[in-house]
Amino acid sequence: MNRRILPMLLLLSLLAYACGGGQKAAEGGNFTEEQIKAQDEAFGRMMAVHDEVMPKLDDMNRVGRQLKPYLDSLDDKTVMEEINLALQKLETAEDGMMEWMMASPKIGQLRDSLGHEAVLGLLQAEEEKIARVRDDMLNSLQSAESLLARIRENPKAE
């Protein structure tokens, strides 16, 4: 009977140690549940900005395709320059999104290499970066749509 109790006590001790009460460490990491929750919330805020504007890429491409034919059909050099500038801004904004997505942090990699405060700081910085990308995308889209509407309203005057 003593031979069964010792392994059972050892197993219970290991289980109690692994659980660590309310400060249980995350799987494979050195973070508490509260820290994991804070990191997940910060990551979620960052991704919410991304998710808000990612669908706008389709709109940006559509408006760009609609503007391009006017480059060949209009004689007004000023309007042609406006179209080129609008197309350039759309492309730059799209490139900004693609670059951000390629470089955006993966939460698991951050947790493997950084401490809690560093993870939160990096996620905050990335949220600010994607917010700038969002602003660039929305501004370029609005500008291009306004230009397109103006050209369509009065194609001969342009």
In a domain, 47, yes or no: yes
Q: Please count the other Cβ atoms lying within 10 Å of the Cβ belonging to residue 53.
A: 21
Our count of domains for the chain comes to 1
List 25's β-bridge partners, or say none.
32
In a domain, 94, yes or no: yes
Along the 158 residues of the chain, how does pLDDT read in single tens digits?
445 554 444 444 433 444 444 333 444 468 999 999 999 999 999 999 999 999 999 999 999 999 999 888 888 888 999 999 999 999 999 999 999 999 998 999 999 999 999 999 999 999 999 999 999 999 999 999 999 999 998 766 44
DSSP 125: H
In a domain, 15, yes or no: no
Structure tokens at 51: 């998710």
Query: Range of 92's domain?
Result: 26-153
What's the predicted TM-score (pTM) here? 0.76
In a domain, 14, yes or no: no
Q: Please count the other Cβ atoms lying within 10 Å of the Cβ belonging to residue 152.
A: 11
Q: Which residue has the tokens 């500008």?
A: 143
3-state secondary structure of 127: helix
In a domain, 2, yes or no: no
